[in-house]
Structure 1
């Protein structure tokens, strides 16, 4: 998020400002804040970011083009100096304050992540880090990054690094070509950027909405839209006054409608982002129409002449309260999120009244920051530095954030004992002793009918929790520490052996991280039954012959090759007596379209599963599918560590948890296959109407979709009984 402010020093000619745009920023920030505070009637406040992007593109491009028209050149040094003065000091201050809030309010398990987030924020790449984590940046919660809102600064920071260079290059080329008006090639360039970015955004939203929401390339079109308006400034000013009024009110209705109607989900940004973006563009265009603006405003750099307030919403947006909030929008945006996340982590889910109180604190901090940090540094009255000095000093602030993030990690990182590594090659990994029985019963408390057991109903408090929720991320199956589950997808059929290595009864487990979660239970069964347990595991690669979505062509090719290699091992001379498999849900490509959710996606996924398993049974490989586990709506380990006295804040409705994963498609596929069995233990994982985070004193999940090794171990008797039943029926 970038806001352009007019220089106030004597070294730059003062220009009028668009008061309607300041008011529009106020509308956007208020929507963002109310959504963050959990005010239900504004579910779409996250579109405030879209409003900011369009305004930023308009003002930044207007400033650059205005300078070109006045002087015939663009000073990149002066441009970057203005950005440094305006943005970096406040951002650095909030980064430092967020580290303090982390130490005092967030559980220790989240400190390391915060350190990395500070480092990524300093480098303006946090949006890509969050995208890789499939993190949400809509509403603060108990497991949300305290710096997640810096993703928007990352997007604009990356764009502003290259945008003036691009415009200067095109303008210089146009002059050398003796173009009559440099704005024509600039408009063509901006138009191509906008069209390409929007097409990419729509395509990515269909297949990977989290990455589309946070990506730079999928958001660039909104800044380009604002840039196009800046380049069209003088032409917009010649449009009829009545049209300006219509544009203004239509745009205002679109923005307000987006705030009240849109909700975060798989369809956004994509085509849905057109509503707030085009609405913002209409308000900007309406304010430039007719040659007159609000009495104290002008169209600024975009037109070099006044615009119109007319009878549109511009008088409302220019009102003093809107101006006051709009002036504080940048520090208010930076402060509100860390305070809300810290409050969530410290006190759990906030009542709307408590959320508003937190926003009040953010407003106070924003006012103080604006008065004592932003204004003195931006005006240059106390720091009368040259543009070069400002840019050099600005380069130190990101470097300080990087160093601060690393030092924070070294200071707070809990000591981790080096994991023992298997002495042999992965294919002959030594069998490990069966781990000791968990000190807590876990799934054993559910009895024979988990759905009827009160032990599976969520409660606020329990006597103890195993493992410690702060250490949940490290409660992993042995395959992680034995190098049997690689850090990144690979195409080798890497095998590890557990149980009785000399046994002739071989059972194979193949799949992704969801399959790896069952290793603790299978280890215990293999030891007890003297099986030779072989694992073929690969992160983010299902053991399925599927036309996967090609969001990453290299990964798809790797997973495809891995499947072929494992299939060759399974169908060779030493066929296993039993194959166990499961996987997470993956987007499937059909007829060039990416199918993420819905009936078509379920059908395509089930068809791929059915085809894969039919091929295996035809090759005389007995196959059993372990139904995919319920998928939670939050990181359970982090949530429980922040809410040990209110565990009911960490529940997910069972119906939603079951609908999110691959379980339904697996059941549909097995239903039409005679020689493939399905084992469903979800009644012992989420037995009640809402999934309890802790059952029998054991933390069920280590994140949002992987069982803790401890809880998986408590499922051993149920899994053994189910396997015995399948094997008896196959005889």
Structure 2
């Protein structure tokens, strides 16, 4: 193995770890591109040498080597990950981790992640400790077909008895190289298209990543030429590649335009290092070729496997202890490398013949102390983490159950403030407050109904919230056709999951309200410009929703949008003033068509229940507060409502006590993820929501009664 390549692998894996632990460098994701190029170069080089030496490539031997090289270490780390996940995670998350582990072992984790990450709700779920296995899946899928194609072309054009420099051998080699170049260019072109059209899928797709491995493979075809490159030119290329990789880590965004065209920079830079260092006469810089980088380069596979599950497990206990990833991952990687990876590559396992035993002793020679220290370190530290995760914690005294006027107010310039009755007389709200207060004081988890693991499976009423294939308004209309009050709900997914509460109310026998819903996942009812957070489909949908408002002229229009931070194309966060202006534009237009416009707050965000609910853990871990971005946007909404003479109703009395918000009330989860109401809780809080809306509904009924009279 070339020392400069070991150095590249060493720095690449260290940068991957730093990016995941500390978020720097921001372009650390390009190290995966480096690994792909190096892999393509090394593996294709081995195949070409085998073809040259023996006149053929043994697919059986090749796939056997790949299994021995990758599977044992991946399986051991996977088994440890599943074991600690079972100890530290909730049943819902344990099942998810087990599923991810299965996809990873089947080498299709990249396609699984592409599906999950394009799912609106699953994308915001807990991070999988198997997420990093996607790159291994991409590589192995590439190597399932590339050696087969090589063998087919070589067998069709060449013969096993041909000399390596014979005309037929050169022709076969040229045909294979030409096919590789064509495949690489086709993959790059597809990646260029897909990175713009479907960036999430492009990031994980083998079709979009094959060109990166292909570039390394193309370089392997010219290795004889690169070995004759003048040393000065080789040094220049090597340094150019190193600088290019440094620039890539500083400027290459994760999206948009990745993996193509932005991925071209780190791929070409890695290629420059491969070509520049090919001549043995080239003096490789010491920082890239020394005993430390040689060892870390050899350890890179085990480091890559171990770091991410350790980080995810640690952060599930305490987000501030991510730095512990370094000692734990280091100890575990050394143990896995010397106890599993190296012995299995040498074929010493599962054989008790004297030669096999000798190879086994040789592989362990001098490493036993490191393995024992590593295993002891991992066992002690991870056991301590697991105990800490499941140990019940003391819970601070909950706030007084009384709800302050500020937290229950209905800000309304049209409806008399006294008509709301405040918070003290609202029996349904008071009942919820009692359960919420008890949840804040709880030291153990109730038996949830429905269970946590099924909370994500329930969708809003009649699935009225789809953006990809929206249902007609008639399919999302509920309540008596002759109702005196016509109410419409608009907004994004937070509105869609609040709809169950409203549907519960209008379906009551005594209801005199007809409800129409126009909601879409990931699409707020506002005039936000197109960008990463606003798709063209969203713009079409919200315009349709506004047309429905202007056509239906509802007596009451409810607007519910998420208050989370919105990321712009340059990775900056959209200012509240920009968000407020976009909402004001739509609220002003809707005001001319609706009788009363009501801005309902979404529930304050908090930890994902599947992440913070752990065996033996304290409910305090799931408690959140209504502050930060949520509070800033609610203040902006109150200002909009006051300026436009509209209504702003805060639903926090239904989900929080003062400013502290638990994740459950009674035995019902309030949120099924970090943002959205669980449908079961939406139905449970329906009577309380009716009380908050009562002044608005009474006012809407009054003109109707006068008209009937």
Whether the TM-score (by the shorter chain) exceeds 0.5 is yes
1:100 to 67, 75, 83: 83
Aligned twin of 2:204: 214
Q: CA deviation digits over 1:6-36, x for unaligned, max 9?
A: xxxxxxxxxxx32332332222222223444
Aligned twin of 2:494: 514
Question: 1:152, CA displacement in angstroms?
Answer: 1.2
Question: 1:103, CA displacement in angstroms?
Answer: 1.5
Aligned twin of 1:253: 243
Rate the CA distance shift 1:158–1:658 in 2: closer, same or farther, 3 A: farther
Rate the CA distance shift 1:474–1:623 in 2: closer, same or farther, 3 A: farther
Rate the CA distance shift 1:530–1:451 in 2: closer, same or farther, 3 A: closer
Aligned twin of 1:74: 57
Note if 1:375 corresponds to 2:346.
yes
Aligned twin of 1:22: 6
Question: 1:367, CA displacement in angstroms?
Answer: 2.5
* Contact 2:560-2:599 at 8 Å conserved across structures: yes
* Contact 1:606-1:666 at 8 Å conserved across structures: no
Output the CA distance in 2 between the equivalents of 1:215 and 1:383. Answer: 45
Q: CA deviation digits over 1:291-341, x for unaligned, max 9?
A: x2xxxxxxxxxxxxxxx4x2233x544423322222232233223332332
Aligned twin of 1:505: 485
SS in 2 for 1:145: coil
Output the CA distance in 1 between the equivalents of 2:559 and 2:615. Answer: 34
Output the CA distance in 2 between the equivalents of 1:261 and 1:321. Answer: 28
Q: CA deviation digits over 1:370-408, x for unaligned, max 9?
A: 2444433699997999xxxxxxxxxxxxxxxxxxxxxxx
Aligned twin of 1:702: 672
Output the CA distance in 1 between the equivalents of 2:12 and 2:340. Answer: 20
- Root-mean-square deviation over aligned CA pairs: 5.8
* Contact 1:484-1:537 at 8 Å conserved across structures: no
Output the CA distance in 2 between the equivalents of 1:529 and 1:665. Answer: 33
Rate the CA distance shift 1:484–1:461 in 2: closer, same or farther, 3 A: closer
* Contact 1:90-1:374 at 8 Å conserved across structures: no
* Contact 1:251-1:278 at 8 Å conserved across structures: yes
Aligned twin of 1:32: 16
Output the CA distance in 1 between the equivalents of 2:283 and 2:226. Answer: 16
Q: Any residues of structure 2 matched to 1:2-401 within 5 Å, and which?
A: 17-36=1-20, 38-39=21-22, 44-134=27-117, 143-169=126-152, 181-182=171-172, 184-202=174-192, 204-205=194-195, 209-256=199-246, 258=248, 269-289=259-279, 292=280, 308=281, 310-313=282-285, 316-346=287-317, 348-353=319-324, 355-376=326-347
TM-score normalised by the chain length of structure 2: 0.67
Question: 1:225, CA displacement in angstroms?
Answer: 1.7
Question: 1:720, CA displacement in angstroms?
Answer: 1.4
Give aligned pairs, total. 616
Question: 1:154, CA displacement in angstroms?
Answer: 1.5
* Contact 1:207-1:595 at 8 Å conserved across structures: no
Higher mean alpha-carbon deviation, 264-273 vs 461-470, is at 461-470
Output the CA distance in 1 between the equivalents of 2:625 and 2:229. Answer: 54
Output the CA distance in 2 between the equivalents of 1:115 and 1:359. Answer: 24
SS in 1 for 2:47: helix
Aligned twin of 2:512: 530
SS in 2 for 1:506: strand
Output the CA distance in 2 between the equivalents of 1:357 and 1:540. Answer: 38
Note if 1:447 corresponds to 2:430.
no
Q: CA deviation digits over 1:400-429, x for unaligned, max 9?
A: xxxxxxxxxxxxxxxxxxxxxxxxxxxxxx
Q: CA deviation digits over 1:442-492, x for unaligned, max 9?
A: 99966332499xx9xxxx975367895994564579864x64459995454
Q: Any residues of structure 2 matched to 1:585-604 within 5 Å, and which?
A: none
Q: Which has the greater radius of gyration?
A: 2
Question: 1:62, CA displacement in angstroms?
Answer: 1.6
Output the CA distance in 1 between the equivalents of 2:277 and 2:350. Answer: 27
Aligned twin of 1:417: none
Rate the CA distance shift 1:116–1:343 in 2: closer, same or farther, 3 A: same
Greater share of residues in helix = 2
Q: CA deviation digits over 1:599-632, x for unaligned, max 9?
A: 89x9999989969996x889x6768575785896
Which 5+ residue runs of structure 2 have no aligned equivalent? 160-166, 357-397, 410-432, 434-438, 705-709
Rate the CA distance shift 1:692–1:192 in 2: closer, same or farther, 3 A: farther
